[in-house]
Amino acid sequence: MNLRRDVFQAIADPSRRAIIMLLATQSLTAGAIAANFESARPTISKHLQILTECELLKQEHLGREVYYHFNAKKMKEIDLFIAPFRSLWENRFNQLEAVMKNHKTKK
């Protein structure tokens, strides 16, 4: 269960989803991945670490380089798309609760 929760947290972040999309069709080194983003290199490294820990990405050592590739098998285990959809409703409903609590104190 812990791992599953980590996967959902991992893909809750838009930058990490962008990394997944980037690696969907190709394997890249950390440097090449970072070159696609404005974020600082350590930030991208942290994203890669999180994605690797929950097995959405796999590392492959080729000579001195480490290539990251997308673990399609893992993606089949979870439904990648559900987490952001759920977050959308979670945020809406949090807002609803806040609005109604506020509305009530005004009454």
Partner 1 sequence: MTFKTQLEAPKNTQEIFITRTFEIPLEDLFEAFVLPELFEAWMGTNVIHLNAIQHGSYAFETSHQGKVMLRAHGVFHDVIKNAQIVRTFEMEEQIFPAQFEILNFEKISEESSKLSMHIVFQSIYYRDEMLKLPFSYGLNMAHERLEELLNNKNKK
**Which range in 24-32, 46-54, 66-74, 79-87 contacts partner 1 by CB under 8 A?**
79-87
- Give the separation between CA 26 and CA 13, rounded to whole angstroms: 21
> With binding defined as CB under 8 A, does residue 75 bind partner 1?
no
User: Closest Cα to residue 55, out of 25, 18, 1, 10?
Assistant: 10
Neighbours of 33 (CB within 10 A): 21
Q: Contact with partner 1 (CB under 8 A): which of 24, 66, 77, 86?
A: 86
Residue of 88, 66, 71 lying closest to 3 (CA atoms): 71
Kindly list the distances between the CA atom of residue 16 and the CA atoms of 64, 78, 106, in Å, as whole numbers in the listed order.
25, 16, 41
Instruction: Show the binding pattern over residues 10-29: x = contacts partner 1 (CB under 8 A), - = does not.
Output: ----xx-xx--x--------
Of 59 and 95, which CB lies nearer to partner 1 in the complex structure?
95
Place of tokens 């599953």: 4
Q: Could you say whether residue 97 binds partner 1 (CB under 8 A)?
A: yes
State yes or no: residue 96 binds partner 1 (CB under 8 A).
yes
Supply the minimum distance, in Å, between the C-beta of residue 14 and partner 1: 4
- Contacting positions for partner 1 (CB under 8 A): 5, 9, 14-15, 17-18, 21, 37-38, 79-90, 92-101, 103-104
